[in-house]
Structure 1
Amino acid sequence: MMEKKDLDLVLVPIGLAVMVSYHVWLLYRIRRHPKTTVLGINAINRVVWVKAMMSDAKNAILAVQTLRNNIMASTLLSTTAIMLSSLIVVLMTSNSVGISSGGEGYGGGLIHGNSSKLLLSIKFFAILVCFLTAFLLFVQSVRYYSHTGVLINVPLKNHAPTLTPEYVGRIINKGSYFWSLGMRAFYFSFPLVLWIFGPIPMFVSSIGMVFFLYFLDTSHDPVLSAEVQNVELV
């Protein structure tokens, strides 16, 4: 019979493999069949939106306000990520969780799995990596949204050969992709947080997270106009 300490060696890698495999599959769907995913449909419609904004100078204020809202959302999430990272660092260095005191396990026998303090420190470090990754991704999102705010207000009649609505659409889509990746880092942190309470909650939450994300990411009946169907994903 499998010992409690061996559950982490089996369930945790399987849970992580399930989540990574799902995102590999999602990336394939976005690249090959974008109109069957929410991310792909949104990327196509952002290009159409950029063309509409740049075709009329009267839309400049609307475009800037929309991008400002996106920047504020990314800024809020990046601030949240760095605050959570700071909290994890405090917990890792605090004697209250017993990580630095070494030796005995934690949880008082309630953790059905490896409860060594060394593994606890690894758990906190994995969560810290998720939050720091999310912070960096949201910062990059702000960067691309800021670039878009400048480029989208250049009138079409004054365009250089390299500045087209399609190019601006690629820039804003990069900002959105970084925002989505930052959210994925938050999603990955949830099973890792539950890993503190044992490998079984972590494994169950990983499976549940994949089902949850599947219904959020896929679009089985996309309603696309003829104009949008002819737009290539950038």
Structure 2
Amino acid sequence: MTSTYRVSGAPKVHADKCGLRSVKTRASASSLVGAGWPLVCASCAIIVAYHIMEEANPKTWRKTMEAARIIWTRKVLRKKDYILAVQTIRNGLMAATFFCSMTIALLTAALGALFEGSGSSTALSMAPEPLFSPATALQLPYIKLALLATVLAISSAAFAQACRYLMHASFIFLVVADDPAIEEPSQTELKNEQSPLTVPTGSAERLMVIAERWWWGGLRGMYITLPLITWMASGTVGFLVASVLLVWILSILDKPLTNTVA
């Protein structure tokens, strides 16, 4: 009788232990629900804080390139090497056009997935999100796609603006040149601020700097899409890790030029 009781009671004790373990697992999992949004905010704050620090830093790659374009423009105008200017601007236009087309293609794909998913009853297939409530987890894929589409739209618009300013710069180079063969406007036209013949002397430099800033903004938008894609593929924790890695990589890319190779 005793042996029979022990044998028949063993599965019951094991079942009680498994049930207790599953209850603890569910309790620990439920305690993590709600931690998703703080992690998302922390990931975004890391990226935003880095760019605020980058803007305040007087010595960065972007500001070095802006100064280089000012010096380059002055030398081209001084030497009247307009062939070099046109070739350089053409190369910049081709690169900006390529990146603009690529971001528009990615934007189209993201918007297609977003509208296709919103019109169907099934949820979009992405990485599971145990850190959010079930209701929020169902809507989270659409939020991710909307953020990705927004960043891609801003990036494509930035590249389009870079093309715009580079195209205008190609005309300004000859207009501001000190060429006696060019018929200059009269003093009356120069005094009239609304006259289309009035072109500031430093307008070519300014256009090149503005084009560089838009170019930088477009590329920066493409970099920021990487953590968003990681968020879709691996969840919120992956988003946080990808944001930290992105900031580390950008801190290397944003270092200014130095006299040493290393």
TM-score normalised to structure 1 length: 0.82
Pair member with larger Rg: 2
The 3-state SS of whatever aligns with 1:163 is: coil
Structure 1 unaligned spans of 5+? 224-234
Q: Which among 41, 65, 76 is matched to residue 98 of structure 2? A: 76
Aligned to 1:55: 78
Aligned to 2:67: 44
Q: Which among 200, 205, 221 is matched to residue 185 of structure 1? A: 221
Go from structure 1 to structure 2 and tell me whether the alpha carbon gap of 1:195 and 1:5 turns closer, same or farther (over 3 Å shift). farther
The 3-state SS of whatever aligns with 1:222 is: coil
Structure 2 unaligned spans of 5+? 1-27, 186-197
Alignment of 1:1-234 (within 5 A): 3-29=31-57, 33=58, 36-57=59-80, 59-95=81-117, 99-102=118-121, 106-107=125-126, 110-114=128-132, 116-154=137-175, 155-157=177-179, 162-164=199-201, 166-196=202-232, 197-219=234-256, 222-223=258-259
1:113 is displaced (CA, Å) by: 3.5
Partner Cα separation in structure 2 for residue 25 and residue 113 of structure 1: 30
Partner Cα separation in structure 1 for residue 42 and residue 228 of structure 2: 13
CA shift digits 1:153-212 (9 cap, x unpaired): 232246778532x33111111011001001111111111111113101100000010010
1:101 is displaced (CA, Å) by: 3.9
Please say if residues 112 and 200 of structure 1, whose CA atoms lie closer than 8 Å, have aligned partners that are also in contact. Answer: no
TM-score normalised to structure 2 length: 0.73
CA shift digits 1:50-77 (9 cap, x unpaired): 01111123x1111101001101111001
1:112 is displaced (CA, Å) by: 4.6
Alignment RMSD, CA only? 2.3
Percent of residue pairs identical: 23
Partner Cα separation in structure 2 for residue 198 and residue 209 of structure 1: 16
Please say if residues 137 and 182 of structure 1, whose CA atoms lie closer than 8 Å, have aligned partners that are also in contact. Answer: yes
* AA matched with 2:253: L
1:8 is displaced (CA, Å) by: 2.0
Go from structure 1 to structure 2 and tell me whether the alpha carbon gap of 1:184 and 1:3 turns closer, same or farther (over 3 Å shift). farther
Go from structure 1 to structure 2 and tell me whether the alpha carbon gap of 1:38 and 1:86 turns closer, same or farther (over 3 Å shift). same
Go from structure 1 to structure 2 and tell me whether the alpha carbon gap of 1:148 and 1:104 turns closer, same or farther (over 3 Å shift). closer
The 3-state SS of whatever aligns with 2:159 is: helix
More RCO (CA 8 Å, sep 6+)? 1
The 3-state SS of whatever aligns with 1:88 is: helix
1:110 is displaced (CA, Å) by: 4.7
Partner Cα separation in structure 2 for residue 216 and residue 150 of structure 1: 32
Partner Cα separation in structure 1 for residue 252 and residue 166 of structure 2: 27
My pick for the range that moved more, 200-209 or 38-47, is 38-47
The 3-state SS of whatever aligns with 2:258 is: coil
* AA matched with 1:51: R
